Amino acid sequence: MRHVTRLHATSGAPASTRGFGLVFSDVEREGAASIKLFDAGGPEPGYLYAEPQALP
């Protein structure tokens, strides 16, 4: 698992963001790709799973 810490550009203090982009590619099986979500202020909200797509 990879943890990403965001720091303020000028002060180096921990920072947060209001949004981000994410693209899953080549997902063929249910539950094969996911991202674990975290909340800085409390318990983790959970997982986001990519929906499998049929090959053309």
Kindly list the domain boundaries of the chain, sorted by start residue.
Answer: 20-56
Looking at the chain, the whole-number percentage of residues with pLDDT higher than 90 is: 0
Of the pLDDT bands very low, low, confident and very high (cuts 50, 70, 90), residue 27 is confident
Helix residue ranges per DSSP H, the chain? none
Residue-wise pLDDT for 1-23, tens only, equals 455 566 677 887 877 777 778 88
The Cα–Cα gap between 45 and 26 comes to 25
Question: Can you read off the two tokens belonging to residue 48?
Answer: 């986001």
- Say whether pTM exceeds 0.85: no
Q: What is the pLDDT of residue 24?
A: 86
